[in-house]
Amino acid sequence: MNTSPLRTLRNKAKLMPLLVNYFPNGISVFIDMFARSLECSFYMIKHFPKIKVFASDNDSNVSNLWNLIFNENIQQRNKDVSQLLELIECTGINQNVWELCKENKFETNIYKAFSFLYLSNFGYMGKPETLLHDTQDNGIEILIKSIKDILKFYADKITFIHSDFIDISLPMRDRMKQYYNQFVFCDPPYLNKGNNYEDKDWNEIKLRTLIEKNIKSGLKFGICEFWNNETDKIFNEYNLNINLVSERVNLKTRDTEIFATNYKPEKLLFEI
């Protein structure tokens, strides 16, 4: 199911087969504005191989990793990635290394990328607190293979930039004149839900700014969120369609994943 070497708790790998039903037809550029693990972008490239992806995130660790792997300077990229792979291979899964990664004192890009991957892959419950002791023996091989596969199958299809969503100019005229049918996919942090992102300060004002920026661009866009009184009010104020993607119920909570769009999806599954 996962393609990305970066394992994150709230990645959208599982949800993409449902979410994609609400995407417009004929997308040629997929703009993944809150890309993190890049699972959504990888899914799109795998299923729509002609698509071009433009991805961004404002987290410096996320950006350091993807800028290393998607560096347009191929010679430098090959050199950096082989050093990264060597480091992963030589280290193995090791408590001392784990502690060093947690201290986050590495300075070079390669060590930083190594440490970020290490914490995301070998933490108990995907969290960087405790090293997963019953890690499968082949955890290292899986990680190495996934980095190699990304390089082989995706590196020339993704442009990644380190940016806050506010600073991205839409539509992407300058860099991608030849492309049309751009779709802006937004999977921002969810309102009032804790997260472990570098920038923890997500709030209603930012969500509104994101909606207004997208509306101004004239492009088709969709935003992931949970359904609740607050999000319902905000999305309705901007006349967005609220599409029900999935529902997860446990003893205490009911989480309804929605996808708010500024167009009526053609392959509508459920509507709220």
Write out the residues near ligand SAM by the rule CB under 6 A.
Answer: 8, 10-12, 34, 36-37, 39-40, 57-59, 62, 164-165, 187-189, 197-199, 202
We find the least distance from the C-beta atom of residue 134 to ligand SAM, in angstroms, to be 25
Give the single-character DSSP code of 123: B
Minimum Å gap between C-beta 14 and ligand SAM is 10
DSSP 3-state percent helix, strand, coil across the chain (nearest 5): 40, 15, 40
Which residues does 268 contact at the CB level (< 8 Å), separation at least 6? 21, 22, 243
- 41 or 182: CB nearest ligand SAM: 41
Closer residue to ligand SAM (CB): 65 or 81: 65
163: number of CA atoms within 13 Å, CB side?
14
Closest to ligand SAM by CB, 98 vs 197, is: 197
Cβ-Cβ contacts under 8 Å for 255 (sequence gap 6 or more):
226, 247, 248, 249
Count of all residues that appear for the chain in the document? 272
Q: 60 or 236, CB closer to ligand SAM? A: 60
3-state secondary structure of 201: coil
Which CB sits closer to ligand SAM, 8 or 121? 8
Within 13 A of 272's CA, how many CA atoms are on the CB side? Answer: 23
Residue 36 Cβ, how far from ligand SAM at the closest point, in Å?
3
